Amino acid sequence: MLTKRIIPCLDVKDGRTVKGINFVDLRDAGDPVELAWQYSVQGADELVFLDISATDEKRKTMAELVKSVARQINIPFTIGGGINEIADADILLNSGADKISINSAAVRNPQLIDDLAAGFGKQFVVVAVDTKAINGKNYVHLNGGRIPTGIETKSWVLEAQERGAGEILLTSMDHDGTKGGFDCKQLQKINRMLSIPVIASGGAGSREDFAEVFNETDVDAALAASVFHYGQILIPDLKQYLKEQGVLVRQVNEE
């Protein structure tokens, strides 16, 4: 049985880590390279870096950040933001990223998923989905959650899987930054539909929230930001707690 993964997420804007509530009211959370090193030492299983301004401001994700992070840590990390074509991904992977994440660009051009999977392998392609409930149904949103699409989340994740996504990073906009717990109801439905790994995102506020999402939905990984950035939850403590709750995790001192 595979161990469950704990993944700190670093939202990067103008070279700094930021965090907000429901995708707005951003505040500084530190230097992304320094935070990456701290998390690798603490025992994080992977990291995700999302340049949250790249798509909206039409900028390319900075390869220099990837190079700096790759020099500092020895755990896998994913980079996303502003990846619109094969060449963008090629630069980031060659700079040291282990995976690339696509979101808005994939919805606008679904063929991009096929092309990336064919060019680099499915294991390198993470499709990030920002989902929000409207009138009882969950819909995909773009550009950091600012643009509703009218596309139902469940149909989009199935299409992404069929096209070659290796993982789905599902963020509940309704839960994001609230620290009120993950959207377990939606995550359970999505995870049962898919055969590829699902990363839960949005709403982590306590150790209990992580145990709940793993035990109730059986997702492969749980991602969080502010609770890690501001020291409210320490990864070694979280992993020890999860172990006590019957969740199989890689312990900090394990290779």
pLDDT, tens digit, 9 for 90 and up, residues 159-180: 999 999 999 999 999 888 778 9
Q: What percent of the chain has pLDDT over 90?
A: 71
Position with higher pLDDT, 211 vs 2 = 211
Sign of the CA dihedral running 22, 78, 103, 13: positive
- Which one of 11, 51, 176, 209 is the catalytic residue? 11
Query: What 3-state DSSP class applies to 119?
Result: helix
Where do the H-state alpha helices sit in the chain?
32-42, 63-72, 86-95, 104-108, 111-120, 153-163, 184-193, 207-217, 226-229, 235-244
Active site residue 220: no
190 contact partners, CB below 8 Å, separation of at least 6: 153, 154, 157, 168, 170, 198
pTM reported for the whole predicted model: 0.91
Angle formed by the axes of helices 111-120 and 86-95, to 10°? 40
Q: Rounded CA gap, 51 and 81, in Å?
A: 5
- Which one of 45, 130, 209, 220 is the catalytic residue? 130
pLDDT band at 1 (very low <50, low <70, confident <90, very high): low
Active site residue 11: yes
21-25, 38-42, 227-231, 234-238, range with the lowest pLDDT: 21-25
Compute the average pLDDT of residues 216-228: 94
Only one residue has tokens 């896998």, namely: 76
Compute the average pLDDT of residues 90-108: 94
Q: Kindly state the tokens that stand for 222.
A: 């749980």
- Residue 207, pLDDT > 90, answer yes
Q: Domain ranges in the chain?
A: 5-244
In CATH, which of 3.40.920.10, 3.20.20.70, 3.40.1010.10, 2.160.20.10 is domain 5-244?
3.20.20.70
pLDDT band at 26 (very low <50, low <70, confident <90, very high): low
pLDDT of residue 58: 46
Q: Kindly state the tokens that stand for 40.
A: 């690798």
Classify strands 125-134 and 99-102 as parallel, antiparallel or unpaired: parallel
pLDDT band at 13 (very low <50, low <70, confident <90, very high): confident
